[in-house]
Chain A
């Protein structure tokens, strides 16, 4: 019975980790949008490419954050599972 309970928790944690990483969609879309707009802006004003690239990198980094939150949660569920101790 103990093993069954542990198995259920571990299996559902693995599912949860996978589900959490769906959040990877958001940063993907956001960074793509950011990069596309930056290319448009450089095409329109090539002399400002340095400033545009710098701003784009900051925007990328901010868009990436939500994905990294999901990654941290997925890693917690896989490597340092807080739920298994509650059985």
Chain B
């Protein structure tokens, strides 16, 4: 249930949830078109334009700075995936690059005065569900049916409930980590603006530097790294 207003006190502190722009019924289910979705469309558009511009006229030997920058970005993701997951996960590189760029730009949208889509638990939940599905897929693919079932009774059969809970705790932790960090930035920003009143010069910039830039890039990186380690540790093949 997306709320338009999470909290507004009489003293003037307001913390907004994502606004519901439009809602429509489809097959008896109500779909809400929220602010988060609109901002994500903007992010997708930015990413698409950047990718199209940066990948035009590629040469074998880089001539332009544009191509050198593109190669640096690709090399960064390649070395990160190779270093964390191993060379056999090479085909996961585009997914993780897209995940990192998308989450980072979503987090940075706060700088433009838009509401962070990642400060909405349904958006971060969706990211975590993708990772969860990839973990289960990788487990089923490497271990086949037998290995998949065996991984739940791994050290001892009585560990079965703990393993099942642990399997669902990972996406929950991923969701709440990103959401908590972003909503903390939003709430603390609102509190500081309220506390300073008309003297809101300087200090909000410092907290914004931490929450909107440092924390945004860091949380996207952490989300990517944790997804990688969850997926590669789900490998139950015989090595």
List the interface of chain A (C-beta within 8 A of B).
Answer: 51, 54, 57-58, 61, 64-65, 68-69, 71-72, 75, 78-80
Contact = CB atoms under 8 A, between A and B. Distances in A.
Name B's interface SS.
Answer: helix
Most chain B Cβ neighbours within 10 Å, of A51, A64, A68: A68
Contacts, number: 38
Contact of A65 (B173, B218, B225): B173
A61 B177 contact: yes
B103 to A, nearest CB: 14
Nearest to B80: A54
B81 to A, nearest CB: 13
A26 to B, nearest CB: 14
B6 A79 contact: yes
Contact of B7 (A51, A54, A78): A78
Contact of B177 (A51, A54, A68, A75): A68
A65 B173 CA distance: 7
B48 interface: no
A75 B173 contact: no
Classify chain B: how many residues form its interface, as a range.
20 to 34
Given A71-B184, A79-B6, A79-B7, A58 B176 contact: no
B231 interface: no
Nearest to A51: B83
Interface in B198-239: 218, 221-222, 225-226, 229
B179 interface: yes
Given A58-B226, A79-B15, A80-B6, 13 more contacts: A57-B218, A57-B222, A61-B222, A61-B226, A64-B177, A65-B177, A68-B177, A69-B176, A69-B180, A71-B184, A75-B183, A75-B187, A80-B3
